[in-house]
Amino acid sequence: MKTIIQNNQGLNFREKIQELYDYRELLWTLAYRDFKVKYAQTFLGIIWGVIEPLLTAILLSFVFNRIAKANTFGINPVLFSLTGIIAWNYFSNVVNQGTNSLILAQNMIKKIYFPRILLPASKALAALPDLLISILFTSVYYLVYWKDFSADILFFPLFIVLSIIAGISISIWFSALNIRYRDFRHIVPFAIRIGLFVTPIAYTANEVSPDLRWIFFLNPLTGVIEGIRWSLFGLEMHWKLFGLSMFVLALLFITGFYFFNKVEKNIADVI
Amino acid sequence: MSSNYVIEVQNLSKVYDIEGKSKDLRYAISRFFSSKNKGIEKLWALKNISFNVNEGEVFGIIGPNGSGKSTLLKILSKITFPTSGKAILNGRVSSLLEVGTGFHHELTGRENIFLNGSILGMSKKEIKNKFDEIVDFSGIGKFIDTPVKHYSSGMYVRLAFSVAAHLEPEILLVDEVLSVGDMNFRRKSMGKMNEVANSGRTVILVSHNLGIIKNLCQNGIYLDRGEIQSSGNIQKVVEDYQNSYKPYQNKILPNFSKHIAVSKIDILSITNNGSKILSTGDEIMIKIKFKSLVKLRNLLVKIIVRDNNKQVLFSCNNKFYDAIFESVPDEGIITCHIPKLALNTGDYSIDLFFEQDRIEIFKVFEIMRFEVFAGGFYETAIMPYHDRIFLIDHDWSIE
């Protein structure tokens, strides 16, 4: 194995992918560590993966459906919120953890070389068991309260994958920005709190006036969650706006990798 | 031009831009709108470094603090990139810049071995094969399935070092990690290091401990202010380093009063085989060579240590130990022994006072200067930030 170290050595795309593949064991190990540590010394352990989304769903359905009277189209309000929450919770967890992942590992970054993207990526991986648990729980809830499903349900996993991609894209962006400007440590939790309300979790995008609806769909999670509702309950889908959401997502994904790559180069000097 | 060097370093340079501020958004925005890059200073951490390392060679890098040693290792281990020049490494590289990187206190010893091992570049299979050996070497025994937060600091470091010691890359980069653990474990680590050195692997070793360097290395370089001052055979390089290293200015020595003359003061590190290079945590001796000009008795000796800003830090006094020298030879050496130097890295000076029967007979301020380098005060060899002047021994627990 021959390594040449010089300025602007920037690996090309194929070499980058090859490198990530070579480091796959480290990715698993880091994700295992994050998962293990998350529930170390907790009494309920992974059951928190059910309690947290359930309580959030009850709270949201109370606020939006009971008080604000948002239309759930005859679907049990808690079930309605749950289907949005599973994607949102995963997304916000990954973004929250991912944003700080580089800063918290600065000791490692200064001492050892490895593709830095493994750090935010491991957060996305470590949050998967929680996502799975909440999906299982929601499925039970769904089977109890909803009899009327169609073949569109087969698309449900696709939307879950899209929410995973959204989580990775945004956390790559924020983790890299956070290295340059620590302000993002304050911006991100705040943005996520706002996101909980401006993403149609306990309501549908139909509540928003048609002229302004496209603004909501600039948020990729809006597209993802509307998609989940369409596949599970057959609710109306704005396909053009969904396309806009996915375009934004693809843009964030590609630019995120590009920007991360740029920041990664001298990260050990600036962190 | 082909060669069989394992490591070839060609005209490697690294420049840092020193900016006043860089980490806040306000600065970035204002800089975006102003056209000039004001206030950027350049710092050459490395300047035109070239050297080659043969296969199976243990190569030493020595030099004072801030000479660029660590930057060089960081470039070779791909942690940071050079500004110009290049380095070619033929073989799988592992770097050992600190033990225990990535250790997590909530995880058990077993889990941390796997975690740390894969961070250091071992495959899961490799770790599995070496697992028993690693546990054995560390002496952790039955605590292997206990979370490492319950370990003593000694156990923690031993486990961390054991993982690192079982790396088997073709090229190993090591920075000052041999000074961890108690004496026993240190001896064991040295043995392991010797084994590594003799196993045909190529090693680059950075250390302040010239004894270790001379023992293990064949060739090396001496760096100062980012440039190579001397290179080649390690004996010669170490000699050049020692000759050019002026730890203190002896301008005001010899110095005398009516009663006593001081001709020489040496501050030596016992830990570092009597070298004048002092590191935090070293066992040191201050040796004062004197001549009595009159008959002296009941001699009190006081040494006051000050920092760079002339702030008094502490004093050593034979009165504290009820050890005032009742009889004093005509000439001789007064030795003050400090078992563990508790000063952080930096420049310090000492004032020397003699009293006889409570009457001051000799007083010279800043008679000596000395410098302290990073060292293994704590078993982890972690150093506090520079503004913390003292290191103290302490321990932790939680209930």
Q: A211: exposed, middle or buried (C-beta count within 10 Å: 0-12, 13-18, 19+)? A: exposed
Q: Is B3 on the interface with A (CB under 8 A)?
A: no
Query: Would you call A56 helix, strand, or coil by DSSP?
Result: helix
As a whole number of angstroms, the distance between CA B137 and CA B224 comes to: 37
Q: Is the pLDDT of residue B33 over 70?
A: no
Q: Distance of CA B310 to CAs A66, B147, B365, B366, Å?
A: 71, 46, 10, 9
Measured CA to CA in angstroms, residue A60 lies from A130, A192, B7 at distances of: 20, 15, 61
Is B116's Cβ below 8 Å from some Cβ in A? no
Give the integer Cα–Cα distance in Å for A229 and A222: 11
Comparing alpha-carbon positions, the chain A residue that sits nearest to B14 is A7
Give the Cβ contact number of residue A86 at 10 Å. 27
| B391 pLDDT higher than 50 | yes
Band of pLDDT at residue B1, cut at 50, 70 and 90: very low
Per residue in B309-340, pLDDT (tens digit) is 788 899 999 999 988 898 889 889 999 999 99
User: Cα separation of B293 and B290, whole Å?
Assistant: 9
Asked if A33 and B107 touch (Cβ cutoff 8 Å), the reply is yes
Q: CB distance B81–A5 less than 8 Å?
A: yes
Contacts of B13 by beta carbon, 8 Å cutoff, 6+ apart = B44, B46, B47, B48, B49, B82, B83, B84, B85
| H or E stretch at A249 | helix A239-265
Residue position matching structure tokens 């030795």: B335
Confidence grade of residue B2 (pLDDT, cut at 50, 70, 90): very low
Phi-psi region for residue B11, left (φ > 0), alpha (ψ -120 to 50) or beta? left
Question: Does B128 lie at the interface with A, CB-CB under 8 angstroms?
Answer: no
Pick the residue of A6, A30, A183, A187 with the most B CBs within 10 A to test the interface with B by mutation: A6
Size of interface A-B (CB pairs under 8 A): 108
Per the listing, tokens 């934004």 go with A248
In the block, residue with structure tokens 């206030």: B39
Write out residues 63-82 of B within 8 Å (CB-CB) of A: 74-82
Which is higher by pLDDT, B188 or B33? B188
B298-307 residue pLDDT tens = 899 999 999 8
Q: Cβ–Cβ of B118/A25 closer than 8 Å?
A: yes
Q: How far apart are CA B82 and CA B266, in angstroms?
A: 40
Q: How confident is the model at residue B172 (pLDDT cuts 50, 70, 90)?
A: confident
Q: Are A242 and A227 in contact (CB under 8 A)?
A: yes
Task: Decide if A183 touches B, using CB distance below 8 A.
Answer: yes
Residue B34 has phi, psi (to 5 degrees) of: -100, 140
Q: What is the mean pLDDT of residues B38-57?
A: 84
**What pLDDT shows up at residue A201?**
92
- Mutation for A interface: B80, B115, B125, B171, most A CBs within 10 A: B80
- Which structure tokens are listed for B279? 């590191």
Number of H helices, E strands in chain B: 8, 19
Query: Which residue in B has a C-alpha nearest to residue A266's C-alpha?
Result: B80
| A16 contacts chain B (CB < 8 A) | no
Establish if A265 touches chain B: CB-CB under 8 angstroms: yes
pLDDT in tens, B186-226: 677 777 777 877 788 899 988 877 777 887 889 999 998 89
The DSSP element (H or E) to which A6 belongs, if any, is: strand A2-6
Over residues B11-16, the mean pLDDT reads 91
As a whole number of angstroms, the distance between CA B274 and CA B278 comes to 9
DSSP state of A152: G
- B177's tokens: 């990690």
**Chain A neighbors of B81, CB-CB under 8 A:** 5-7, 9, 265-266
**Beta strands B359-373; B278-279: pairing state:** parallel
**Cα B98 from chain centre:** 12
Q: Does A111 touch chain B (CB under 8 A)?
A: yes
At B35 the pLDDT is 55
The pLDDT of residue A199 is: 93
**Chain mean pLDDT for chain B:** 84
Inform me whether the pLDDT recorded for B343 exceeds 50.
yes
| Count of alpha carbons within 13 angstroms of residue A162, beta-carbon side | 23
Residue B274: which region, alpha, beta or left (left: phi > 0; alpha: psi -120 to 50)? left
- Averaged pLDDT, B26-45: 67
In contact, B352 and B303? CB cutoff 8 Å = yes
Q: Which of A108, A266, A269 sits opposite B101 (nearest CB)?
A: A108
pLDDT mean for each 10 residues of chain A (271 residues): 76 83 91 88 83 90 86 89 95 95 90 92 95 94 87 94 96 93 91 93 89 93 96 92 96 94 86 78
Q: How confident is the model at residue B245 (pLDDT cuts 50, 70, 90)?
A: low
Q: How far apart are CA B368 and CA B305, in angstroms?
A: 10
- Higher-pLDDT residue of B149 and B250 is B149
* 8 A C-beta contact, residue A210 and residue A235: no
Return the amino acid letter for A219. Answer: N
Looking at residue B230, its pLDDT comes to: 93
Residue A107: list chain B partners with CB under 8 A: 98, 101
